[in-house]
Amino acid sequence: MTFANLYPAIMCGGSGTRLWPLSRKLFPKQFISLVNDTSMLQDTINRLPNGCEKPLFICNEEHRFSVAEQVLALGAKGDILLEPEGRNTAPAVALAAFQALSKDPEAILLVLAADHVISNTSAFHQAIETAYKATLTDKLVTFGIVPDKPETGYGYIKFGDTDNSGVAPVEKFVEKPNLTTAETYLASGNYLWNSGMFMFKASVYLEELKTFNPNIYSACEQSMSDSQTDLDFIRPNKDAFLTSPDDSIDYAVMEKTASAVVVPLDAGWSDVGSYSALWEASKQDDNGNVQRGDVLTHNTNNSYLHSEDKLIATVGVNNIVVIDTPDAVMVADKNQVQDVKAIVNQLKKDKRSEVEHHRQVYRPWGSYDSIDMGERFQVKRIVVKSGAKLSVQMHHHRAEHWIVVSGTAKVTINDDTFLMTENESTYIPIGAVHALENPGKLPLEMIEVQSGSYLGEDDIVRFEDRYGRVEK
């Protein structure tokens, strides 16, 4: 089927704190390969139906380059819309709706999360086809997951009689229930899990939003009418957007409209909201274990074991989660993984960097790995992509030594520009204006040794930057 005027709107926000230490604030779960060799965002793109329009990605400022790079890696294209600040799903989708209508007055939005697992793509496409036909009659469609257990971690949708097309009216949305209530919902057969996925005409959604939440509508309309384009990014006006109330689609529109319908979806769906959910969504061996990376087991059962940096060896354990990353190890009972957020809260309280980012940090020009650190020094392994350039910058509190390991570096220090190759080095004193570029065809790999009284990433004064990171 050809889905004319169908614009996927992929929501790329969220911090995924319950999957720490794999998921971090600056590189959350939607950008990580959790169930296969591609990221969850890339999986979302790959399972879009043929015949739809280029997707629209909605994310925040901090994640914009991660989204852009992962989309580019697939050879995909699409607009990247930057939320000025998180205001929940109703305003975010309104921004997407205004953007889609600016291209196509008949635009239909397919609102998807970037961090869901859907194992049965054909069933997913069939549900999209059913929903698409309903939107042509101005219905606002939500996708309800057919439950297979009395889940207490999801909201539910109660639905009425299903018509011949497979669409049912929404009777009500209900909050996350206790176990007894969830068991009642499951037994009744009249409830579905609320997936947070939707489809509707952009114009119909905005009309209903204007009726039921005019303040959100007005703020988003003004914000998009004064939006700016920066590289591949669309930037709505921040001041206008910040006047919008914070509200979800469910509360702002779907619970109030008379046009809400639900399409049941039975397609191996999971929101991977915890390590136990990730274990369920992953392929298990004969002992019920999921093993990723360098793992050895003996008398180990029903466990999730993930190594990124070193050997994990388990003996005589059951129902546990072990996560190894270069800068953290987390061990938990699989029945208590919801409490990982308590560790994240403690990290936030202690202002520790492990809650914000991984040891390896991605930038639009490449990445760096902080391999050693002391009171007055830090050592980084820096990789610069072919043709990429770091900003023209200076530091108030640190000097730097650069050593080329492989590739070619074009270095500027004040008014001096020169090339360095393998085994050559240079020194950048405190206060010197400097820049680094890879003019070659191969990646540039370097070791950077920083020394000084303060080594924080905020000690960077940018004078020029091809990625738009200079304050206006």
Predicted pLDDT of residue 10: 98
| For range 248-263, the mean pLDDT | 96
The DSSP code for 308 is S
Q: Which residue has the higher pLDDT, 186 or 1?
A: 186
Residue 468 — very low, low, confident or very high, per pLDDT cuts 50/70/90? Answer: confident
| For range 151-174, the mean pLDDT | 93
- For the cut 70, the answer to whether the pLDDT of residue 16 exceeds it is yes
**Alpha carbons 100 and 111: distance in angstroms, whole number:** 12
Instruction: Decide: 465 and 392 in contact? Cβ < 8 Å.
Output: yes
- For the cut 90, the answer to whether the pLDDT of residue 237 exceeds it is yes
- For the cut 60, the answer to whether the pLDDT of residue 472 exceeds it is no
| For range 276-304, the mean pLDDT | 97
Average pLDDT of every residue of the chain: 95
| For range 208-236, the mean pLDDT | 95
Residue burial 357-380, b: 16+ Cβ < 10 Å; e: rest: bbbbbbbbbbebebeeeeeeebbb
| For range 29-40, the mean pLDDT | 94
- For the cut 80, the answer to whether the pLDDT of residue 469 exceeds it is no
Comparing CA positions, the residue from 110, 332, 72 lying closest to residue 202 is 110
**Alpha carbons 77 and 321: distance in angstroms, whole number:** 37
Predicted pLDDT of residue 344: 96
Kindly state the tokens that stand for 179: 């176990």
User: ∠ CA(447), CA(385), CA(430), 5° rounding?
Assistant: 40
Predicted pLDDT of residue 4: 86
| Beta pairing partners, 142 | 198, 262
Predicted pLDDT of residue 288: 98
pTM as predicted? 0.90
Residue 471 — very low, low, confident or very high, per pLDDT cuts 50/70/90? Answer: low
| For range 206-218, the mean pLDDT | 98
pLDDT tens track for 404-436: 999 999 999 999 999 999 999 999 999 999 999
pLDDT tens track for 291-301: 999 999 999 99
Predicted pLDDT of residue 450: 97
Predicted pLDDT of residue 361: 87
User: ∠ CA(332), CA(284), CA(179), 5° rounding?
Assistant: 60
Predicted pLDDT of residue 14: 81
User: ∠ CA(369), CA(445), CA(410), 5° rounding?
Assistant: 120
Comparing CA positions, the residue from 15, 13, 47, 22 lying closest to residue 290 is 22
pLDDT tens track for 40-91: 999 999 999 999 999 999 999 889 989 999 998 999 889 999 999 999 999 9
| For range 177-184, the mean pLDDT | 96
| For range 201-216, the mean pLDDT | 98
pLDDT tens track for 369-401: 999 999 999 999 999 999 999 999 999 999 999
Predicted pLDDT of residue 50: 92
**Alpha carbons 245 and 251: distance in angstroms, whole number:** 12
- For the cut 80, the answer to whether the pLDDT of residue 2 exceeds it is no
CB atoms within 10 A of CB 393: 20
- For the cut 70, the answer to whether the pLDDT of residue 149 exceeds it is yes
Residue 230 — very low, low, confident or very high, per pLDDT cuts 50/70/90? Answer: confident
Kindly state the tokens that stand for 95: 């921004």
Q: Which residue has the higher pLDDT, 4 or 135?
A: 135
Q: Which domains does the chain have, with CATH numbers?
A: 6-270 (3.90.550.10), 275-344 (no CATH), 360-464 (2.60.120.10)
Instruction: Decide: 370 and 448 in contact? Cβ < 8 Å.
Output: no
Q: Which helix (H) or strand (E) holds 6?
A: strand 6-11
How does DSSP assign 53-86, residue by residue? Answer: PPPEEEEEGGGHHHHHHHHHHTT---EEEEESS-
Q: Which residue has the higher pLDDT, 419 or 309?
A: 419
| For range 180-191, the mean pLDDT | 96
